[in-house]
């Protein structure tokens, strides 16, 4: 059996999560590998969420937010955008390929795009293979946060 990657998606409530729902109401089929955490805004996605996901067994992480200018909270997505290079560098230092993290702007009306992105990303991560176990173990354990 081919490798089935596990992917965690952090989707903002207003655009991408709604777009994912639209893919559902339109009965668009896509790969089952992505499991979603709903956040109010992509700006809420703390880099530690991403590390946590990799540590807990994810082979890929998808961040989904509103298109630039369309963020429900005006500019949360821009903050996310700015965090990405930092995060990628962090991942690289830890031995995690850049291709395992993907940021996509998907609006509430782009169900079809959501379907395409999911299928593409699953294939992308599948091609990278499972995340190295050693790497996973070495990730910081910060799971019981202060909050």
DSSP codes joined into one string, 1-55? ------EEEEEETTTHHHHHHHHHHTT----TTEEEEEES-GGG--HHHHHHHHH
Among 16, 62, 115, 117, binds other proteins (CB under 8 A): 115
Joined tokens for residue 106 = 């998907």
Per-residue contact string for residues 52-81; x = within reach of ligand FES by CB under 6 A:
-------------xx----xxx--xx----
| Per rule CB under 8 A, count of chain residues that contact other proteins | 53
Among 3, 75, 99, 123, binds other proteins (CB under 8 A): 75
Residues 117-146 that bind other proteins (CB under 8 A): 143-146
């Amino acid at each position: 059996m081919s490798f089935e990657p596990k992917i965690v998606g952090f989707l903002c409530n207003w655009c991408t999560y709604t777009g994912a729902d639209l893919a559902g109401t339109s009965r668009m089929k896509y790969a089952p590998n992505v499991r979603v955490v709903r956040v109010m805004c992509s700006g809420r996605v703390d880099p530690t969420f991403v590390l946590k996901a990799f540590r807990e067994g994810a082979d890929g992480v998808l961040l989904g937010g509103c298109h630039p200018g369309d963020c429900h909270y005006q500019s949360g997505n821009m903050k996310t955008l700015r965090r990405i290079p930092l995060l990628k560098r962090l991942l690289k230092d830890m031995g995690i390929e850049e291709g395992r993290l993907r940021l996509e702007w998907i609006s509430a009306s782009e169900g079809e795009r959501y379907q395409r992105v999911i299928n593409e990303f699953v294939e992308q991560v599948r091609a990278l293979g499972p995340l190295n176990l050693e790497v996973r173990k070495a990730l910081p354990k910060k799971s019981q946060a202060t909050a």
